[in-house]
Chain A
Amino acid sequence: MTRTSKRPSYKLEDVKKLIRDNNIFINSNAQEDAWDDFNWKLDDIRKCLLKLKIGHFYKTEPHKNNAELMIDIYKAKNIMKDINIYVHFYIIPGGNLIINSFKEL
């Protein structure tokens, strides 16, 4: 059985606070895709994530390798200029945001 929900597992304001406080880490695959798709460094990704709105939320679901870990997925069109993004992330105990995927939608 899959557990997906239309309500995010992590409050967007909490996510944004972690970004502002620099409590953020990025998975190497996400950084590779962000570079390939947009030529973006982490600072660009950060600016983009700060523009996320709850309306961009797509779904939350358990990580494919750990059912206990929920991942929030956002799809945002025209979030910056004509950039469309697909991003998913989670917060780890201790309060760090892990950007698990970041690519062009």
Chain B
Amino acid sequence: MKCTICDIKLSIKTGEFEFKSRSLGKILVPDITYFECGVCGDKILSPEESDKVINYVEKEENKSISKLPIGEFITTNEAAEILGITKQAFSKNYKIRQGLIYSAKIGNKKYYHKRSVELFKVKNNGKFPLSRPDVFPIYIKKEILEQYMPKKFKSIKTPKTIFSHGTFIYHTQKDVESKYVGWVHLVSMKNKGIRNVYR
């Protein structure tokens, strides 16, 4: 297949596929075959591969939702009250049924995330970035990090402990792949940490 925009042959790639979702930010989906244009960077998915990507993203989103504190979930009645609609209208709402409000099932009952309901009221979409520090490892050469990291951290030569700077956490990893030995493992928090480092 050719890239109709650049008029060059698209390369077929198999491997990790980068997908950006409002809930998870950038996520790498393993083992996806896709077409990529080496010039414009366009990535094209077949129906089968697109389903594989979304199924993976959906699973990861559900995992992250299930990690949200149980106290942040409310009943259908409470959620309907926030939206100013009846319980019946809430249950029938197509977008809510599609999962645009984060929910969790406990027993046979469905509970809705309060912040997600409030967001849905304003934006008609209750998705917000879910914190996934465990799945957002970014590796950066220690020297580069030290060059750009905030002055207050300059004295830290070998950060063995986890240091928190509000928006990011970084530490050395002993059990990383060999290619990352000597690199610093950086965890993005609220998608702001990396920008701070690169600035």
Contacts and interface: CB of A to CB of B under 8 A. Distances in A.
Interface in A64-86: 65-66, 69, 80-83
Interface string B34-58: 1100001011111100110111010
The secondary-structure label for the interface of chain A is mixed
Interface residues of B, number: 33
A36 B45 CA distance: 17
Contacts of A12: none
Given A35-B21, A35-B57, A25 B45 contact: yes
Interface in B1-23: 1-2, 4-7, 17, 19-22
B55 to A, nearest CB: 8
Contact of B98 (A22, A24, A25, A39): A39
Given A31-B54, A43-B51, A83-B94, A25 B46 contact: yes
The secondary-structure label for the interface of chain B is mixed
A31 B50 contact: yes
Given A36-B22, A80-B94, A94-B1, A28 B127 contact: no
B99 A39 contact: yes
B20 A32 contact: yes
A92 B1 contact: yes
A40 B35 CA distance: 21
Interface residues of A, number: 33
A98 B127 CA distance: 27
A82 B94 contact: yes
B45 A66 contact: no
A11 B6 CA distance: 24
A31 to B, nearest CB: 6
Interface of B: 1-2, 4-7, 17, 19-22, 34-35, 40, 42-47, 50-51, 53-55, 57, 94-95, 98-100, 125, 127
Given A25-B35, A39-B100, A66-B7, 18 more contacts: A26-B44, A28-B19, A28-B43, A28-B44, A31-B45, A35-B54, A36-B22, A38-B95, A39-B98, A40-B98, A41-B51, A41-B55, A42-B47, A80-B94, A81-B94, A82-B95, A83-B95, A93-B2
Interface of A: 22, 24-28, 31-32, 35-43, 46, 63, 65-66, 69, 80-83, 90, 92-94, 96, 98, 104
